[in-house]
Amino acid sequence: MMKYNRILINKNEIISEVTCDAYYPMLTGKYAFNVVFNGEANYTIEKRQITLVPGSFIFLNHDTCYSHKIDSSVEVNTLSVLFDPGFVQDFEYSYRAEAKKLLDNPADLKSGQPRFMESIYTLQGDVKFNLQHLTRHLESGTNDQLLLNEYLHHCLINYYNLYHSEIERREAALKFLSRTTKTEIIRRLSIAKDYMISNYNKSIRLDDIAQMACLSVNHLLRTFKQAYQQSPHQFLTKIRLQQAKHLLKHTDYPVNEIVDIVGFECPSSFIRLFRNAFNVTPGQYR
């Protein structure tokens, strides 16, 4: 087990951990950016049960109460960035306020605490690049608070850009007139998406996904395709293929065993889908 825990002078906190067994109950009070690089980590977020798989993250609000558990036969590598609410509030103000207001009233924080739709995202692009560099500095043992806080600032910039582009793009794709209706549909579709990511290796029925999202099956199928440009089945297949790709690269499991681990039923169809998605066979990729 290896753990790095650093509380910065502005009350932001960085926790990097490699372990097979951990349990942190009833966490709350800070915005939490939780990432899994390897292995899987389970979260209970109020009444929701989710699993972060390799290369995924979730951003939780400061008043969300959640528990974090790892119980794995392989080492799980996680990173948590805990933002003090005041730091995020100041960032929100500087992100949204007009330039003149920022110059005239640099410390005017009249807005309340920002809230985000809590959903699982793929670790990619600028978010991934920034966190990889932050992790390297942590591994080197740096204590430079200015440097670390710059990385945390960029972490928020990248998350805000991703969050708003994702939400706005998906809301715009929905064929409803009401903005409130669009936001609520996206919230429910996010729950459906997170359920599939968290249970990708199990047999999932369409009825189960619809029930989790509190949508009828037909409403789920129609709105999910509008928002994500793919069906729930196509989305689930993509998640399974990504996890198979990770296992091929980072483990020695035979291909037939990986097929079972990620939830496919037939090795031949898995090989065909993998080749269509990545232009190589599983064996060639390994």
pTM (predicted TM-score)? 0.89
Residues 101 and 208 in one domain: no
Distances (CA, A) of 204 to 155, 200, 212, 224, 236: 34, 8, 12, 16, 9
Residue 197 to residue 202: CA distance in whole angstroms: 10
- The percentage of the chain sitting over the pLDDT mark of 90, rounded to a whole number, equals 74
Q: Supply the CATH number for residue 276's domain.
A: 1.10.10.60
Residues 109 and 195 in one domain: no
Indicate whether 89 belongs to any domain.
Answer: yes
Indicate whether 113 belongs to any domain.
Answer: yes
Residues 94 and 179 in one domain: no
**Residue 43 · residue 68 · CB < 8 Å:** yes
- Provide the domain limits for residue 213: 174-229
pLDDT band at 139 (very low <50, low <70, confident <90, very high): confident
pLDDT in tens, 145-182: 999 999 999 999 999 999 988 888 898 899 888 889 99
Residues 197 and 250 in one domain: no
Indicate whether 149 belongs to any domain.
Answer: no
User: Mean pLDDT, to the nearest integer, of 74-93?
Assistant: 92
Given a cut of 70, whether residue 262 has pLDDT beyond it is yes
pLDDT in tens, 42-70: 999 988 999 999 999 999 999 999 999 99
Indicate whether 246 belongs to any domain.
Answer: yes
Lowest model confidence (mean pLDDT) among 81-95, 107-121, 241-255? 107-121
Indicate whether 181 belongs to any domain.
Answer: yes
Tokens of 2: 């290896």
Question: What is the structure's pLDDT at 58?
Answer: 96
Domain boundary among 184, 211, 229: 229
Residue 150 to residue 225: CA distance in whole angstroms: 38
Question: What is the structure's pLDDT at 165?
Answer: 86
Given a cut of 90, whether residue 95 has pLDDT beyond it is no
Question: What is the structure's pLDDT at 177?
Answer: 80
Ranges assigned E (strand) in the chain:
2-7, 13-27, 31-38, 41-45, 48-52, 56-60, 66-83, 120-122
pLDDT band at 232 (very low <50, low <70, confident <90, very high): very high
Domain boundary among 123, 150, 165: 123
Residue for token pair 């509030």: 89
Mean pLDDT of the chain: 91
Indicate whether 153 belongs to any domain.
Answer: no
Question: What is the structure's pLDDT at 101?
Answer: 61
Tokens of 58: 């979730």
Residues 118 and 223 in one domain: no
Task: Give the number of domains in the chain.
Answer: 3
Domain boundary among 229, 258, 275: 229
Q: Supply the CATH number for residue 106's domain.
A: 2.60.120.10
Residues 111 and 207 in one domain: no
Given a cut of 60, whether residue 92 has pLDDT beyond it is yes
Question: What is the structure's pLDDT at 108?
Answer: 60
Residues 11 and 34 in one domain: yes
Residues 118 and 6 in one domain: yes
Residues 205 and 222 in one domain: yes
Parallel, antiparallel, or unpaired for β 66-83 and 41-45?
antiparallel
Residue 164 to residue 160: CA distance in whole angstroms: 6
Given a cut of 70, whether residue 238 has pLDDT beyond it is yes
Indicate whether 243 belongs to any domain.
Answer: yes
User: Mean pLDDT, to the nearest integer, of 263-281?
Assistant: 92
Given a cut of 70, whether residue 33 has pLDDT beyond it is yes
Given a cut of 90, whether residue 20 has pLDDT beyond it is yes
Question: What is the structure's pLDDT at 233?
Answer: 96
Given a cut of 70, whether residue 103 has pLDDT beyond it is no
Residues ≥6 apart with Cβ < 8 Å to 4: 14, 15, 16, 17, 138
Residues 30 and 71 in one domain: yes
Indicate whether 147 belongs to any domain.
Answer: no
Question: What is the structure's pLDDT at 134?
Answer: 92
Lowest model confidence (mean pLDDT) among 62-66, 190-194, 265-269? 265-269
Residues 225 and 248 in one domain: no
Q: Supply the CATH number for residue 212's domain.
A: 1.10.10
Residue 36 to residue 1: CA distance in whole angstroms: 15
Residues 119 and 77 in one domain: yes
